[in-house]
Amino acid sequence: MSCGLFVTGTDTGVGKTIVTAALAIALRRRGLCVGVMKPAESGCPLEQGQLSPQDALFLKEMSGCAAPLTLINPYRLAQALTPALAAEHEGVVIDLDHIRDCYDQLAAMHDIVLVEGAGGLLAPLIDRSSMRDLAVRLELPLLVVARNVLGVINHTALTVTVARQTSAVLGVVLNNSVPIEQAAEQSNAAALRRWGGAPLLGQIPYSAALSRDYIELLGAELDVAAILQAVPASKNSER
Ligand SMILES: Nc1ncnc2c1ncn2[C@@H]1O[C@H](COP(=O)(O)OP(=O)(O)O)[C@@H](O)[C@H]1O
Ligand SMILES: [Mg+2]
């Protein structure tokens, strides 16, 4: 029986990729076959004449997901804009049914599939659909990554409130993507437990050097058991 979850964030650049990679490694260590997906990635650099989706490639490497990159990342875009706009500028038509089809294929090959959104929850994916709508289309619960800065309580509560209107929310991971400097950052974990609106499922410390070895250790900072327990099995999967 396969299952999956959708990693979103309170903003872009909050640590979704780092947290997804750490979770993938932790799940792999538990003996699970882990698939990853980055349905749409913008801001891809050109390498040898081809767009190179950095998040998708990183997640593929860290998870050991052997699926083809065309399933892991069906849409890659050059401009560092929200996918809907980058796609419009670049003449790419993003199709939710195609993303769902790729996801279903990944789900059939793995025990669990971790899907990383682009930007925050309401970042536009196509004209009338955001990341939130994509999570609904994939029938996946949401894990919210929050950046530990002053203001994170509001950002998290907003994201969780809007997410819950359409999907289940597994919880929140608080990520220190910048060094702790203020009183607020020291108290934010406790504050999120009171006001975040969803369980706090981990706190990732800041590291100036985010090496592969370091990311492998980060799984210990996540409540993997609680995440696994809360993730429902997919209805349509073979495993
Ligand atoms: N715990 C951390 N310690 C240090 N730097 C971090 C940490 N988490 C994220 N970063 C840095 O912040 C940036 C954004 O992280 P990333 O995971 O790519 O965010 P997102 O996927 O949400 O866009 C990256 O450059 C990464 O190196
Ligand atoms: Mg990312």
What is the rounded CA–CA span in Å between residue 98 and residue 108? 15
Instruction: Decide whether any atom of ligand 1 lies within 6 Å of the 176 Cβ.
Output: yes
204, 15 Cβ separation under 8 angstroms: yes
The protein residue whose alpha carbon is closest to atom 27 in ligand 1 is 210
Residue 98 neighbours by CB under 8 Å, 6+ apart = 74
Q: Is residue 235 part of a domain?
A: no
Q: Annotated active-site positions, please?
A: 38
* CA 57 from centroid of its chain's CA atoms: 14
Q: Is residue 8 part of a domain?
A: yes
Q: Is residue 238 part of a domain?
A: no
Count of beta carbons in the 10 Å neighbourhood of residue 201: 22
Q: To which residue do tokens 């999570």 refer?
A: 135
Domain of residue 146, CATH code: 3.40.50.300
Q: Is residue 19 part of a domain?
A: yes
**Structure tokens of 28?**
């792999």
pTM to 2 decimal places? 0.96
- Its domain, for residue 115, covers 3-230
Number of domains in the chain: 1
Tens of pLDDT along the chain (239 residues) come to 579 999 999 999 999 999 999 999 999 999 999 999 999 999 999 999 999 999 999 999 999 999 999 999 999 999 999 999 999 999 999 999 999 999 999 999 999 999 999 999 999 999 999 999 999 999 999 999 999 999 999 999 999 999 999 999 999 999 999 888 888 789 999 999 999 999 999 999 999 988 888 999 999 999 999 999 999 876 544 43
Q: What is the CA radius of gyration of the chain?
A: 17
Q: Is residue 236 part of a domain?
A: no
Specify the DSSP element, H or E, that contains 156.
helix 152-164
Q: Is residue 96 part of a domain?
A: yes
Q: Give residue 16 CA to ligand 2 midpoint distance, Å.
A: 5
